[in-house]
């Protein structure tokens, strides 16, 4: 590999130093720069190889419980130590001894709110998010822990801006739990970030009939990027609970929330992440660019692309690394079946037979009750009637109603998703990037120069 040409750098650098300071070298010092650069090169290459195949994927899950911990205080028994003067030595210097003393004190804790998912993730949420989820779950909250306060009349510390502000903790503080009832319509989805190995994205994409799309090109084409995800214990709930599934299209909050539930439902069960990308007035060829840009998505992703103009659906496509293309084709085709229907009033003429009097019947038939002669029929009367019929739209349409229909289809079919393991691609050789190679060469040069300076300045010489 080209990266190992870095080993020639210490040979060349050491040769130059030897010509300048020949008498400062002993024979075994020639191997120090080469050995050092070899070790540094190997370690650096391993680190670069490891980092170059590390990518981020997004896991969906469902919030199954939320917790509220009321503010409380407790007495913390503690023994501390300090150094105190305890005399002088024979030279008159002060001597110090360790003294132990009781430093027990009261610890105060503010209120907190958290949530737990069905894959065991626990994260902090805000008071508002907690209240909203309690209402959404529509289940009872129960006490799961009780803490007896050391100072019941003390005010709740750290409660500014919450419902506990200005209140006393009381004799006991409680931890409340509210469980999700299990219904789809009350499901709250959560998204978390995870790192995994993907050699495909770091390899030569041409073998997969893909090409690299640079950021500048992606911006100019209007391709979608993964939404930013920055989390901590306090912000993680906000990010993970609001992370979208549909990008583009200006969909309503209700529709976005409904499609997020699909990731919460099928994320743990099928290790699947759904994305729906809505392009406004773009040609279908942009899906190929999007596929190249995302390198066909992460290994757990099913990406549906929809092209529209206004409410009219122009085209649909989908891509995925899934084991089978059956579901990928089905979710694409279903978009093109999202027609709308409206009532239309139609006027139609309905023939009616005119009544015939008995005198006319006698003249025509003879005796009443005999059949009409052949070729003789009653004269019809034209009567108009209004009929309401359903008229199908000329094109598939993307409306709140059809979004709802598409959600129902996905909810019934996404269980077919089969995630592909990227261990299948372990055979791929990942070469360091040009930037990584340049970094290794520069690093090798600096190490070589530094060690040679040490060689000519140490006390070892001929």
Q: Which two tokens stand for residue 45?
A: 């290459």
The tens digit of pLDDT for each residue in 23-60 reads 776 767 677 777 887 787 777 777 777 777 788 999 99
Residue-level pLDDT at 248: 94
Cβ contact 303:318 at 8 Å: yes
- Decide if pLDDT at 425 tops 70: yes
Residue-level pLDDT at 245: 97
Residue-level pLDDT at 34: 76
Mean pLDDT for the chain? 86
Cβ contact 54:197 at 8 Å: yes
User: Mean per-residue pLDDT for 230-259?
Assistant: 85
Query: Could you tell me the residue ranges of all domains in the chain?
Result: 2-53+448-457, 61-185, 198-340+396-424, 342-392
What CATH number matches the domain at 198-340+396-424, 1.10.510, 3.10.310, 2.60.40, 3.40.50? 3.10.310
The tens digit of pLDDT for each residue in 380-418 reads 555 556 677 778 888 999 999 999 999 999 999 999 999
CA distances from 145 to 142, 174, 361 (A): 9, 6, 96
Confidence of residue 313 (pLDDT cuts 50, 70, 90): very high
- Decide if pLDDT at 358 tops 60: yes
pTM over the 0.85 mark: no
Confidence of residue 1 (pLDDT cuts 50, 70, 90): low
Helices (H) and strands (E) counted in the chain, each on its own, are 12, 16
Confidence of residue 141 (pLDDT cuts 50, 70, 90): very high
- Decide if pLDDT at 365 tops 60: no
CA–CA gap between residue 144 and residue 134 (Å, rounded)? 16
CA dihedral 240, 246, 252, 254 (to 10 degrees): -50
Percent of the chain's residues with pLDDT above 70: 85
The tens digit of pLDDT for each residue in 180-231 reads 999 999 999 999 999 888 878 777 777 777 888 999 999 999 999 999 987 6
Q: Which of 60, 289, 84 is nearest to 187 (CA)?
A: 60
- Decide if pLDDT at 462 tops 90: no
- Decide if pLDDT at 372 tops 80: no
Alpha carbon 314 to chain centroid distance?
27
């Amino acid at each position: 590999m080209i990266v190992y040409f870095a080993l020639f750098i210490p040979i060349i650098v050491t040769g130059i130093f030897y010509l300048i300071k020949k008498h400062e070298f002993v024979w075994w010092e020639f191997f120090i720069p080469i050995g050092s650069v070899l070790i540094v090169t190997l370690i650096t290459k391993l680190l670069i190889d490891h980092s170059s195949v590390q990518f981020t994927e997004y896991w969906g899950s469902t919030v199954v419980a939320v917790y509220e911990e009321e503010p409380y205080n407790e007495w913390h028994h503690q023994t501390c130590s300090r150094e105190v003067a305890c005399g002088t030595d024979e030279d008159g210097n002060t001597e110090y001894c360790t003294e132990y003393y009781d430093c027990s004190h009261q610890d105060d804790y503010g209120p907190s709110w958290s949530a737990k998912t069905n894959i065991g993730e626990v994260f902090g949420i805000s008071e508002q998010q907690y209240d909203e989820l309690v209402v959404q779950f529509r289940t009872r909250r129960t006490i799961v822990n009780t803490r007896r306060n050391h100072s019941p009349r003390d005010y709740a510390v750290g409660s500014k801006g919450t419902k506990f502000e200005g209140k006393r903790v009381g004799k006991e503080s409680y931890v409340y739990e509210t469980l999700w009832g299990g219904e789809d319509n009350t499901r709250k989805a959560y998204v978390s970030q995870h790192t995994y190995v993907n050699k495909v994205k770091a390899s030569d994409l041409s073998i997969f009939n893909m090409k690299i799309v640079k950021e500048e090109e992606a911006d100019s084409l209007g391709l979608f990027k993964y939404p930013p995800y920055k989390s901590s214990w306090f912000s993680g709930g906000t990010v993970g609970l609001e992370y979208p599934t549909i990008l583009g299209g200006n969909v309503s909050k209700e529709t976005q929330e409904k499609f997020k539930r699909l990731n919460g439902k099928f994320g743990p069960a099928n290790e699947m992440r759904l994305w729906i990308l809505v392009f406004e007035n773009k040609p279908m060829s942009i899906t190929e660019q999007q596929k190249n840009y995302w390198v066909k998505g992460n290994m757990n992703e099913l990406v549906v692309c929809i092209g529209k103009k206004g409410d009219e659906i122009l085209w649909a496509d989908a891509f995925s690394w899934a084991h089978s293309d059956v579901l990928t084709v089905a979710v694409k085709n279903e978009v093109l079946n999202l027609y709308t229907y409206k009532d239309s009033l139609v006027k139609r003429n309905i023939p009616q037979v005119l009544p015939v009097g008995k005198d006319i019947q006698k003249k025509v038939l003879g005796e009443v009750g005999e059949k009409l002669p052949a070729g003789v029929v009653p004269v019809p009367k034209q009567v108009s009637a209004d009929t309401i019929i359903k008229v199908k739209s000329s094109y598939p349409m993307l409306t709140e109603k059809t979004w709802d229909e598409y959600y129902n289809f996905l909810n019934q079919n996404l269980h077919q998703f089969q995630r592909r393991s990227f261990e299948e691609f372990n055979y791929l050789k990942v070469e360091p990037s040009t930037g990584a190679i340049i970094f290794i060469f520069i690093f090798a040069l600096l190490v070589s120069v530094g060690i040679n300076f040490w060689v000519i300045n140490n006390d070892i010489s001929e």
